[in-house]
């Protein structure tokens, strides 16, 4: 922490790194005459050039390779790659419903572990005034224990379907290498059912007992919107402001800009500007399709928050994530209960020249892939649009609004407020992009 | 191993990230059943992914995830070595360079133009290399990602001052112990299990797929023999090169073998 001087003088402030965020970035606030002049979220995650080295690889390797973009949401990268490559190979419509159901089940596992990790280990300490869940555990041991149990269940579910939680090995283009063992499925069911009640209770605690900063903005919410289910793997991409595109067209609807201070490309909707992906967008656009267990909680949560949907305050992403966790647990319990081993766990996929684009709902928002393939099945071109790079411009705009309110605060307090806000987005900076140092420059 | 007698008070743990996906750090947080005991035993002194508070060095154990791929990282690793008594490279990126080490065989300028509209904004090295290429490391824990239980074993061993019990034999042995059907012999699948170090628990064969080598080469693997078998089944030198050149491709002897198959591919 650097020394604090009066706001009227010129100064640069360096506050410790933005912790509890996956990846690295830095925040610069430039102040003149006590007013915010510039806000810049720097992202200097080392570039790893996935889109470049994927060229020439076999299409069957892609789900395993792209999983390595992010250890927190590998399933999202695997699902995006599988769907897009099935389009390249012309078999997208041939995937069995039973395989699609298992893909949703796998995604439930990732949503549960990622959401619970973020809500309780990374974000809740901000609301309760702790520097980390480790310190928080001293006063709220029971809550942390309950959360760890839920997180483990999410990991166990991913492992049940695909071998392990980080970089699962069971997923392939066309489905799964094998279906889960019915015996193991049966064993997991009681814990999953109990977890629904557990998380429902925790959701009401989160909605009722926390102080949510009031920062409403007129966002454009973008999410997958399938007709008859809460979004995960399928659906047209829509917004609350009129965007409605087929999966394939999404790449055309957005524009990615490369800015000097970031290795993440900033995505904007063509001709319009910044937009938001993630739990708030999904919930605002798809609340009617929540699992009945989550749907019955929604009015109670709205009452406790004193806000009806649509929520335009991204601090409410925490209760939104909690509701989505209830949804994922309840949906997982339903699927596990009805599970019978499918006649086949994968459809045959032959190499072919083709092109295909597809996005799925990573815990932190749409993760969109597009590929072109050669006749031998090798990759000719790849483009991957991760959620955090889509949110980056919206985060900067939020910070702009927040920065006006914190000009009087001491540096550490100001940095905390900004970090808290950034964590609303559950930014997975390694996806695209390293972690945050806080700089505030005061110019006379 | 450091003499455990030297550690005064709670041992301090530091966790660092270099070029990586965060998955190995997450593996530490995925020890849900042991996590609260672990943070009761060690002082988590520096771990940005988990906590805001930082305690000043020196640290008793440093875990480094990721490979060295930028000029900044190249400098930072030397300070970290000075700050940590026992330094462990965790995961495929830190022990082999990781998947991003594929650039080591490519033209990085061209890679930058492929991904970024304005390559001059990007500061990167021409190579992504393991931590041990830059500083002395006390131990290397393999895996993409590391196995959380091996991580726990390692931390426990360092704390009591003994050698970590991390086997270096092949996945094959693990697979036989589990009684799994051999995907190589019974299905003719190109399984890297015979040349890959164990640690995963023979996961891929248990999911009915061939091992793709995410724990890197075992001690003294016979790659030529396995590659010969794959070729006799009709796999091309290029195909075998790609199999070897993935998450641990830049680690010897996978590196050397992949270069051999690359030469075969070009002379064909």
What string of DSSP letters covers A277-302?
A: -SHHHHHHHHGGGS-HHHHTTHHHHH
| ipTM for this prediction | 0.96
Instruction: Tell me if A257 sits within 8 A of A392, measured CB to CB.
Output: no
pLDDT of residue A13: 40
Which of A57, A68, A23 lies closest to A168, judged by CA? A68
Residue of chain A with shortest Cα separation from B120: A260
Instruction: Tell me if B126 sits within 8 A of B116, measured CB to CB.
Output: no
Nearest by CB: A167 against B23, B69, B121:
B23
In Å, what is the CA distance from B221 to each residue of A405, B166, B169, B201, B210?
62, 17, 9, 18, 17
pLDDT of residue A2: 37
Q: How far apart are CA A357 and CA A372, in angstroms?
A: 9
pTM summary value? 0.94
Residues of A in contact with B69 (CB under 8 A): 46-48
CA atoms within 13 A on the CB side of A249: 12
Q: How far apart are CA A319 and CA A301, in angstroms?
A: 8
Instruction: Tell me if A176 sits within 8 A of A346, measured CB to CB.
Output: yes
Domains in chain A, ordered, with CATH? 50-213+338-383 (1.10.645.10)
pLDDT of residue A256: 83
Instruction: Tell me if A162 sits within 8 A of A176, measured CB to CB.
Output: yes
What does pLDDT average to in each consecutive run of 10 residues of chain B (268 residues)?
60 95 94 93 92 92 97 96 98 98 96 81 90 98 98 96 96 97 97 98 97 97 98 97 98 98 92
Q: Which of A48, A115, A160 to mutate: most B Cβ within 10 Å?
A: A48
The answer to whether A258 contacts B25, with C-beta atoms less than 8 Å apart, is: no
The answer to whether A166 contacts B30, with C-beta atoms less than 8 Å apart, is: yes
Segments of chain A scoring below 70 in pLDDT? 1-25, 43-44, 260-264, 429-444
pLDDT of residue A5: 41
Q: How far apart are CA A79 and CA A358, in angstroms?
A: 9
- Token look-up 């390797």 returns A61
Residue of chain A with shortest Cα separation from B243: A61
The 3-state DSSP class for residue B255 equals: helix
Domains in chain B, ordered, with CATH? 4-160 (3.40.50.700), 171-267 (no CATH)
The 3-state DSSP class for residue A368 equals: strand
The answer to whether B50 contacts A134, with C-beta atoms less than 8 Å apart, is: yes
Q: How far apart are CA A33 and CA B213, in angstroms?
A: 58
Query: Is B129 an interface residue toward A (CB < 8 Å)?
Result: no
The answer to whether B118 contacts A145, with C-beta atoms less than 8 Å apart, is: no
Nearest by CB: A163 against B112, B116, B207:
B207
Q: How far is A71 from chain B (nearest CA, A)?
A: 4
Strands (E), A266-378: 266-269, 354-362, 365-373
Instruction: Tell me if A270 sits within 8 A of A253, measured CB to CB.
Output: yes
Tokens encoding A85: 């490559």
Query: Is B181 an interface residue toward A (CB < 8 Å)?
Result: no
pLDDT of residue A433: 35
Query: Is B104 an interface residue toward A (CB < 8 Å)?
Result: no
C-alpha radius of gyration, chain B, whole number: 20
Q: Which residues pair with A346 in a beta bridge?
A: A175
Q: How far is B225 from chain A (nearest CA, A)?
A: 23
Nearest by CB: A435 against B48, B118, B212:
B48
Q: Which of B93, B99, B113 to mutate: most A Cβ within 10 Å?
A: B99
Length of chain B: 268
pLDDT of residue A149: 97
A56-66 per-position pLDDT tens digit: 999 999 999 99
CB burial of residue B157 (10 Å; 0-12, 13-18, 19+): middle
pLDDT of residue B113: 87
Q: How far apart are CA B44 and CA B59, in angstroms?
A: 10
Other C-beta atoms lying within 10 Å of the C-beta of residue A383: 16
Residues of B in contact with A69 (CB under 8 A): 21
């Amino acid at each position: 922490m650097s020394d604090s001087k009066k706001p009227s003088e010129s100064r640069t402030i360096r506050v410790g790194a933005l912790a509890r965020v996956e990846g690295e970035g830095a925040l610069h606030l430039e102040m003149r005459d006590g007013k915010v002049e510039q806000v810049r979220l720097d992202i200097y995650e080392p570039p790893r050039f996935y889109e470049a080295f994927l060229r020439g690889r076999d299409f069957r390797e892609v789900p395993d390779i792209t999983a390595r973009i992010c250890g927190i949401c590998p399933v999202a990268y695997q699902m995006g790659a599988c769907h897009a490559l099935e389009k390249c190979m012309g078999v997208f419509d041939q995937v069995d419903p039973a395989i699609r159901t298992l893909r949703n089940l796998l995604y439930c596992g990732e949503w549960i572990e990622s959401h619970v990790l973020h809500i309780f280990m990374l974000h809740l300490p901000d609301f309760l005034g702790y520097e980390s869940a480790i310190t928080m555990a001293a006063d709220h041991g029971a809550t942390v224990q309950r959360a760890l149990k839920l997180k483990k269940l999410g990991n166990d579910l991913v492992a049940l379907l695909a071998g392990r939680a980080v970089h699962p090995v069971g997923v392939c283009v066309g489905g799964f290498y094998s279906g889960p063992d019915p015996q193991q499925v049966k064993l997991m069911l009681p814990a999953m059912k109990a977890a629904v009640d557990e998380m429902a209770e925790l959701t009401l605690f989160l909605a009722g007992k926390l102080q949510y900063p009031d920062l409403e903005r007129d966002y454009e919410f973008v999410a997958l919107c399938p007709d008859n289910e809460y979004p995960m793997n399928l659906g047209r991409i829509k917004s609350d402001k009129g965007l409605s595109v087929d999966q394939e067209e999404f790449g055309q609807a957005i524009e990615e800009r490369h800015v000097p201070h970031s290795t993440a490309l900033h995505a904007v909707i063509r001709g319009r500007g910044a937009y938001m992906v993630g739990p708030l967008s999904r919930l605002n656009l798809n609340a009617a399709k929540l699992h009945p267990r989550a749907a019955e909680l929604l009015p109670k949560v709205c009452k406790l928050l004193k806000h009806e949907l649509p929520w335009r305050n991204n601090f409410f992403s925490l209760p939104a994530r909690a509701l989505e966790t209830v949804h994922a647990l309840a949906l997982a319990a339903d699927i596990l209960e009805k599970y019978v081993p499918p006649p086949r766990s994968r459809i045959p996929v032959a190499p072919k020249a083709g092109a295909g684009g597809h996005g799925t709902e990573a815990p932190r928002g749409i993760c969109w892939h597009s590929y072109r393939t050669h006749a031998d099945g090798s990759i000719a071109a790849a483009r991957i649009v991760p959620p955090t790079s889509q949110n980056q411009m919206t985060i900067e705009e939020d910070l702009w609004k927040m920065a006006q309110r914190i000009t009087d605060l001491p540096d550490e307090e100001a940095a905390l407020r900004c970090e808290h806000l950034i964590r609303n987005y559950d930014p997975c900076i390694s996806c695209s992009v390293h972690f945050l140092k806080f700089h505030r420059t005061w110019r006379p | 191993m450091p003499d455990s007698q030297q550690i005064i008070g709670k041992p301090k743990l530091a966790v660092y990230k270099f070029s990586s996906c965060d998955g190995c750090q997450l593996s530490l947080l995925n020890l849900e059943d042991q996590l609260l005991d672990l943070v009761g035993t060690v002082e988590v002194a520096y771990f940005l992914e988990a906590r805001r508070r930082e305690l000043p060095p020196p640290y008793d154990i440093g875990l480094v995830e990721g490979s060295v791929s930028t000029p900044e990282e190249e400098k930072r690793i030397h300070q970290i070595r000075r700050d940590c008594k026992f330094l462990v490279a965790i995961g495929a990126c830190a022990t082999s360079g990781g998947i991003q080490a594929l650039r080591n065989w490519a033209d990085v300028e061209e890679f930058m133009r492929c991904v970024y509209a304005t390559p001059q904004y990007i500061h990167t090295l021409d190579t992504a290399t393991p931590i041990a290429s830059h500083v002395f490391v006390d131990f290397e824990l393999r895996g993409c990602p590391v196995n959380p239980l091996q991580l726990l074993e390692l931390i426990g061993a360092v704390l009591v001052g003994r050698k970590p019990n991390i086997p270096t034999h092949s996945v094959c042995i693990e697979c036989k112990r589990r009684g799994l059907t051999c995907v190589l012999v019974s299905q003719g699948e190109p399984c890297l299990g015979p040349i890959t170090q164990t640690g995963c628990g023979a996961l891929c064969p248990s999911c009915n797929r061939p091992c793709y080598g995410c724990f890197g080469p075992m001690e003294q693997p016979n790659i030529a023999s396995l590659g010969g078998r794959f070729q006799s089944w009709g796999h091309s030198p290029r195909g075998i090169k790609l199999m070897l050149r993935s998450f641990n491709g830049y680690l010897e002897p996978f590196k050397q073998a992949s270069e051999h198959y690359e030469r075969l591919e070009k002379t064909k």
